[in-house]
Structure 1
Amino acid sequence: MSHSGEKLLEIKDLKKHFKVGRKQILKAVDGISFDIYRGETFGLVGESGCGKSTAGRTILRLYDATEGEVNFEGVNVHDKKSKKDLKIFNRKMQMIFQDPYASLNPRMTVMEIIAEGLDIHDLVKNKTERKERVHELLKTVGLNKEHADRYPHEFSGGQRQRIGVARALAVDPDFIIADEPISALDVSIQAQVVNLLQKLQRERGLTYLFIAHDLSMVKHISDRVGVMYLGNMAEVASSDDIYEEPLHPYTQALLSAIPLPDPEIERSRERIVIEGDVPSPIAPPSGCRFRTRCPHAMDVCAKVVPEWQEYKKDHWVACHLYNDKYNDEYKKRENQGTVQAH
């Protein structure tokens, strides 16, 4: 798991807002920025409703962006393009969906599901080649060619997700968004699907955006990790840095909730419990989105949106605790014993 240093995707101040009713606006994704390098796995994590799946769909242009850019190989995906240009993008960028039950058409055979992309992009010359290609893809994902004539309801969840992987691979993409691809599967099957994705990445030089809420699995599969909260990015760093030196209070709380295999360490470590519910993305808090649940919140957090800054090399964070202008207030309160030590 390593990347080439070449940027495949540049996401700049990306926003996706939805109109709710006559006047209300739901800010699902509200100005996120990060890069994805060729050959790496970028893990995107956060609680349900934080906007990570919407971000994935907007990057792939399943949703049109409200504002911002998604530059793929230097070209903005959201610029107005001809159908021909979009077809080229669609071939290079594919998606594996969360629910293996809902994402496969129950009226189509596995052959038809996997071959759909081959047909749309004219990648096979005749029916014989089409059949051979589908059989080859089934073998690649650990299924048999006999499965090609069956329907989705005849398969288990894990097998269906393998069919979803084969469908994504059919057009030979460079970049795949895996939107919580294992959350609907049994724990025993999850590792098999993750191992398959890693094997395919090694063999085909694929780049992944792996969206999940399970931080322990994200650590296992990702080179770098981005943490989202209520439509904003809280932190981005290498997988090791996120787990060994989390900066944002939200990241720290998420990590403290992961159970450890050693019961002695598990009993002795401090849990950071986040109080309260996630605010509504229709009416997010002023200033820092996390301030209403943050144990370290200061006065400035309600007034000023935290700057997205590179705190140290390749470790980005949006938190006033790491801004010299504001953390004097925090230190003063810490000395008075009114906040917990950070």
Structure 2
Amino acid sequence: MKRNEKGPFHQEPLMEIKNLKKYFKTGKKEVLKAVDDVSFTIYKGETLGLVGESGCGKSTTGRTLMRLYDATDGEVLFQKEQVHGKKNLSQLKQFNRKVQMIFQDPYSSLNPRKTVADIIAEGIDIHGLAATKEERQKKVLHLLETVGLNKSHANRYPHEFSGGQRQRIGIARALAVEPEFIIADEPISALDVSIQAQVVNLMKRLQKEKDLTYLFIAHDLSMVKHISDRVGVMYLGGIVELATSNDLYDEPLHPYTQALLSAIPVPDPDIEKKRNRIILSGDLPSPSNPPSGCRFRTRCPMATDTCAQKTPIWKEAKPNHWVACHLF
């Protein structure tokens, strides 16, 4: 089956997230609810995009799925097995091999004291994927070529590369252990616009070649549409809308999604002049003290009294198009 032909809904779930919560204590009585009761499924072979403003909980969600943070509550199932909870060393190694992460900042995510070869080969060494030094070197050189770098780059250090090249090294490092699932945490936000498309196209090619599944976290909605099969929209620790990429961009249902999409510039100046921008009033509320009812109500142009009293129910407004809003 070609990807996007029928959508990902006939595929088997790879990761299931059920009522996930991640809270941080920020004072004696203050708790920051970074991720608050989030549920979604990631299907094998798809790319799920996760978008929203800075501080909405996207990266914390990704890091909690990866076990970089312990979940406060809820479940994360990878291939039907619990991600959190007690695991022995063998189980942890197996999970860490199947699930990898590409980080936002290519400048700080690479060890400046190690050569590119040693950075890429770190996972190969930990998981014993090369029997000899020659096999290790062969794997590293093949990975460099796979991500569009030269073999001669192997013995250089990170400071000798541009941001785009460093991110390619980060991708090669993630691929080294032959993972099934990659969490990409804003992998292009620190890069020049001209380089962003190259990195996204590289990720798309690698996905086809290696049958990878992605969670692609970003705040650039136009780039997310380019790579994602489905897109989830986060606001203040919760997901407010989730749909196929085309459905979400063609017919956004939640007022917050509509506002985000209205901010994307259109290349045609005539259309751009006539467009109605939805300007949100007020600042993002604090995750330590979110509004009652619907969290978006303090900035929503369509808010009613019901929005302050009741939390909207997560519902399927159209086939495979989910939204949490009292308007539906």
TM over 0.5: yes
Matches of 1:282 and 1:13 in 2, distance apart? 18
Alignment equivalent of 2:34, drawn from 28, 34, 40 = 28
Give how far 1:211 is off. Answer: 0.2
Deviation at 1:33, TM superposition (A): 0.6
Displacement of 1:36 in angstroms is 0.7
Distance in 2, Cα, partners of 1:315 & 1:70: 22
Question: 1:5 and 1:205 mapped to 2: Cα distance?
Answer: 13
Q: 1:232: which partner in 2?
A: 238
The DSSP-based 3-state class of the residue aligned with 1:320 is: coil
The one-letter code of the counterpart of 1:197 is M
The aligned residue for residue 328 of structure 1 is none
TM-score by length of 2: 0.97
User: Where do residues 48-59 of structure 1 align in structure 2 (5 Å cutoff)?
Assistant: 48-59=54-65
Give the letter for the 1:114 counterpart: I
1:241-264 CA-to-partner distances (Å, cap 9, x unmatched) read: 100110000000000000011111
Residue 77 (structure 1) shift: 0.4
Q: CA deviation at 1:76?
A: 1.3
Q: What amino acid sits opposite 1:107 in the alignment?
A: R
Q: Could you tell me which of 304, 307, 311 is aligned with 1:301?
A: 307
Tell me the TM-score normalized by structure 1: 0.93
Aligned position for 2:182: 176
DSSP-derived class of the 2:24 partner: strand
Residues 145-204 of structure 1, C-alpha deviations (whole Å, 9 max, x = no match):
111111100000000000000000000000000100000000110010001000000100
Among residues 205, 209, 222, which one is paired with 1:199 in the alignment?
A: 205
Q: CA RMSD in A?
A: 0.8
Instruction: Give the Cα separation in 2 of the matches to 1:228 and 1:80.
Output: 29
> Which residue identity does 1:311 align to in structure 2?
A
Write the deviation string for residues 264-294 of structure 1: whole angstroms up to 9, x where unpaired: 1111121111111100101111111100000
Distance in 2, matches of 1:5 and 1:200, equals 19
* Aligned equivalent of 2:281: 275
Aligned to 2:171: 165
Q: In structure 1, give the amino acid aligned to 2:190.
A: A
- Shift in Å, 1:126: 1.1
Q: Out of 98, 101, 105, which is 1:99 matched to?
A: 105
Offset at 1:79?
2.8
Cα distance in 2 for partners of 1:305, 1:78 equals 28
1:261 to 2:261 alignment: no
Q: Distance in 2 between matches of 1:270 and 1:54?
A: 33
Q: Which residue is 1:138 aligned to?
A: 144
1:201-246, CA deviations, whole angstroms, 9 ceiling, x for partnerless residues? 0100100000000000001110000000000000000001100110
The aligned residue for residue 329 of structure 1 is none
Q: Write the distance in 2 (CA, Å) between the matches of 1:275 and 1:46.
A: 16
Decide which of 57, 71, 90 is 2:96's aligned counterpart. Answer: 90
Structure 2 CA distance, aligned partners of 1:310 and 1:78? 28
Q: Which runs of 5+ in 1 are unaligned?
A: 323-342
Q: How far apart, in 1, do the equivalents of 2:281 and 2:317 lie?
A: 27
- In the alignment, which residue of structure 1 is the partner of 2:223? 217
CA–CA separation in structure 2 for the residues paired with 1:162 and 1:310: 38
Separation in 1, partners of 2:92, 2:19: 22
Q: What amino acid is aligned across from residue 285 of structure 1 in structure 2?
A: P
Aligned length: 322
Equivalent-residue separation in structure 1 for 2:244 and 2:272 (angstroms)? 24
Q: Offset at 1:310? A: 1.0
> In structure 1, how many angstroms separate the alpha carbons of the residues matched to 2:324 and 2:160?
47
User: Could you say which residue in structure 2 is the equivalent of 1:314?
Assistant: 320
Q: Alpha-carbon deviations, 1:126-146, whole Å to 9, x = none?
A: 111101100000000001111
Percent sequence identity over aligned pairs: 71
Name the larger-Rg structure. 1
- Please name the residue that 2:133 is paired with: 127
SS where residue 113 of structure 2 aligns? coil
Aligned to 2:17: 11
Instruction: Tell me whether 1:114 sits opposite 2:123 in the alignment.
Output: no
Q: CA deviation at 1:52?
A: 0.1
Deviation at 1:40, TM superposition (A): 0.5
1: distance between equivalents of 2:40 and 2:51? Answer: 13
What residue in structure 1 maps to residue 78 of structure 2?
A: 72
